[in-house]
């Protein structure tokens, strides 16, 4: 039997490995977002359980793509209406998987996984309410969801996509974050994300093609 404190990371790692086995580019993207989220969390002053929840939510933010066909994830062109709706289900699917995995867990683990599930559910919500699945805005979005949004978009931009072979340069992606601060993204979070990117701790943008990820974002669609 796993001790308290080890069960959550092990489960997060196991679920992440399942996602990587299903779709390699999504797994690679998720690991990069996880690494960057932990660094951004430290800059924002998170520690202990909060930092742990952030990392796990980041690692699993696209877990729900297990419920999206690989044909849609790897489509080499724009998504049609049905495919876009399929993609937009992935935050809820991921949150449901995490909650189902811990059904019957103790109160302390249940609270932790609930925080992780909410972060997964809300990583495509946007500060101005233009995101999905609920269109929440501002502080109504969880802290984890508000931190994951700009990190996810940044990593999506600096990698090639099946539907967009050219990756954006780091300066182009940074400009998008700055332009979106206070509209798409929490203005209290963007400076921390930029700090981590600029000190060179974040991914460089040269890597394998990533999955269709932020294709459903309201204004990020043409950039992600
Ligand atoms: Fe996503």
Above 50 in pLDDT, residue 1? no
133-144 tens-digit pLDDT? 999 999 999 999
- Give 212 Cα–ligand 1 centroid separation in angstroms: 9
Residue 215 confidence class, pLDDT cut points 50, 70, 90: very low
- pLDDT tens digits for range 99-130: 988 776 666 667 778 999 999 999 999 999 99
pLDDT over 50 at 192, yes or no: yes
- Quick one: pLDDT at residue 204? 46
Pick the CATH number of 7-216 from 1.10.3210.10, 2.160.20.60, 3.50.30.30, 3.30.70.260: 1.10.3210.10
User: Over the stretch 4-42, which tens digit does the pLDDT of each residue have?
Assistant: 445 667 888 999 999 999 999 999 999 999 999 999 999
pLDDT of residue 21: 96
Instruction: Give the chain's mean pLDDT.
Output: 86
C-alpha angle 71-135-25 in degrees, rounded to nearest 5 = 30
pLDDT of amino acid 161 = 77
How far is ligand 1, taken at its centre, from the CA of residue 64, in Å? 8
Question: From the CA of 92, how far away is ligand 1's center (Å)?
Answer: 10
65, 90, 123, 176: the catalytic one is 65
> For the chain, what are the domain ranges?
7-216
Q: How far is the CA of 109 from the centre of ligand 1 (A)?
A: 24
**pLDDT band (50, 70, 90) for residue 131:** very high
Q: Identify whether the C-beta of residue 63 lies closer than 8 Å to the C-beta of residue 120.
A: yes
pTM of the entire structure?
0.86
pLDDT at 203: 53
Long-range contacts of 35-38 (CB under 8 A, 24+ apart): 35/203, 36/151, 36/154, 36/155, 36/193, 36/196, 36/197, 36/201, 36/202, 36/203, 37/147, 37/148, 37/151
The question of whether 65 is a catalytic residue gets the answer yes
């Amino acid at each position: 039997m796993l001790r308290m404190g080890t069960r959550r990371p092990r489960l997060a790692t196991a679920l992440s490995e399942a996602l990587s086995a299903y779709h390699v580019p999504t797994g690679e993207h998720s690991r990069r977002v996880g690494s960057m989220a932990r660094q951004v969390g430290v800059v924002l002053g998170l520690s202990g359980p909060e930092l742990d929840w952030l990392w796990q939510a980041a690692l699993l933010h696209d877990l729900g793509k297990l419920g999206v066909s690989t044909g849609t994830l790897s489509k080499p062109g724009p998504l049609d209406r049905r495919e876009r709706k399929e993609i937009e289900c992935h935050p809820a699917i991921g949150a449901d998987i995490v909650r189902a995995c811990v059904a019957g867990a103790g109160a302390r683990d249940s609270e932790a996984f609930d925080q992780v599930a909410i972060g997964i559910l809300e990583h495509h919500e946007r500060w101005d309410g233009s995101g999905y699945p609920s269109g929440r805005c501002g502080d109504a979005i969880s802290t984890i969801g508000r931190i994951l949004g700009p990190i996810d978009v940044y990593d999506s931009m600096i990698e090639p996509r099946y539907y967009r072979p050219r990756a954006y340069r780091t300066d182009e992606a940074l400009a998008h974050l700055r332009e979106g601060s206070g509209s798409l993204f929490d203005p209290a979070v963007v400076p921390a994300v930029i700090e981590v990117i600029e000190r060179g701790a974040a991914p460089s943008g040269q890597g394998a093609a990533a999955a269709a990820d932020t294709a459903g974002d309201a204004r990020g669609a043409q950039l992600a």
